[in-house]
């Protein structure tokens, strides 16, 4: 093989983005895109960005209805639950069935894989594994 194409091939392999990514990074990346498609129009990820729903930074492990100064529904504010991974799955799957009276419009994300990806992303903006 002449030298130039071999170098070009080597450069291509080294530049291939997926090669350096761990499975977790790929899940977080996919989750970020799904979050943009399904949740972002109502949820910011930090307080500096006003949004219709409460910002979701640090949501994994957070008490439900506790984001400062957000006007929650009585149902969510009084629920007393903590946003564990399991609670977030139930919420994504059928939020208004899980918590009747919430003002979040129904989202019905039933696909476990899509839930996995969004959870990986939410965990990544919550300071790691919870
Ligand atoms: C149409 C707007 C809208 C969309 C789309 C939406 N949400 Fe919400 N979300 C809200 C509102 C409004 C609330 C506050 C509900 C209440 O007070 O009852 C909320 C509350 C929440 C909470 C509770 C947070 C807390 O501080 O207790 C979580 C978690 C959440 N949403 C996750 C999601 C996820 C994940 C998605 C995407 C799969 C999503 N939401 C899509 C509007 C939306």
Reported as a single tens digit per residue, the pLDDT across 19-65 is 568 999 999 999 999 999 999 999 988 877 778 999 999 999 999 99
Across the range 115-128, mean pLDDT stands at: 93
Q: How far is the CA of 112 from the centre of ligand 1 (A)?
A: 18
Q: pLDDT tens digit string along 89-101?
A: 999 999 999 999 9
Which protein residue's CA is at the shortest distance from atom 22 of ligand 1?
A: 54
Residue among 53, 73, 94 whose CB has most ligand 1 atoms within 8 A, to mutate = 53
Token pair for 52:
């219709």
> Which residue out of 41, 43, 108 has the highest number of ligand 1 atoms within 8 Å of its CB and is therefore the one to mutate?
43
Residue nearest to ligand 1 atom 36, measured at CA: 39
Please report, for the chain, the start and end positions of each structural domain, with discontinuous segments joined by +: 22-124
Task: Specify the pTM.
Answer: 0.86
- Which string of DSSP letters, residue by residue, matches 13-27? HHH-GGGG--HHHHH
Contact (Cβ atoms closer than 8 angstroms) between residue 65 and residue 77: yes
pLDDT at residue 130, as a whole number: 47
The percentage of residues in the chain with a pLDDT greater than 70, rounded to a whole number, is 82
Contacts of 92 by beta carbon, 8 Å cutoff, 6+ apart = 107, 109, 115, 118
Pick the atom of ligand 1 nearest to 64's CA. 27
* CATH of range 22-124; options 3.30.70.380, 3.40.50.720, 3.30.420.40, 1.10.760.10: 1.10.760.10
């Amino acid at each position: 093989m002449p030298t130039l194409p071999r170098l070009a091939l080597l450069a291509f392999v080294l530049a291939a983005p997926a090669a350096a990514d761990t499975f977790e990074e790929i899940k977080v990346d996919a989750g970020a895109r799904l979050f943009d498609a399904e949740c972002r129009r109502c949820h910011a990820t930090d307080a500096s960005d006003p949004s219709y729903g409460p910002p979701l930074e640090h949501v994994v492990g957070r008490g439900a209805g506790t984001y400062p100064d957000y006007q929650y529904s009585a149902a969510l504010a009084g629920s007393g639950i903590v946003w564990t991974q399991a609670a977030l799955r139930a919420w994504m799957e059928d939020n208004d069935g899980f918590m009747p009276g919430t003002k979040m419009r129904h989202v019905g994300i039933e696909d476990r894989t899509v839930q996995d990806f969004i959870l990986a992303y939410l965990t990544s903006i919550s300071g790691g594994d919870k």
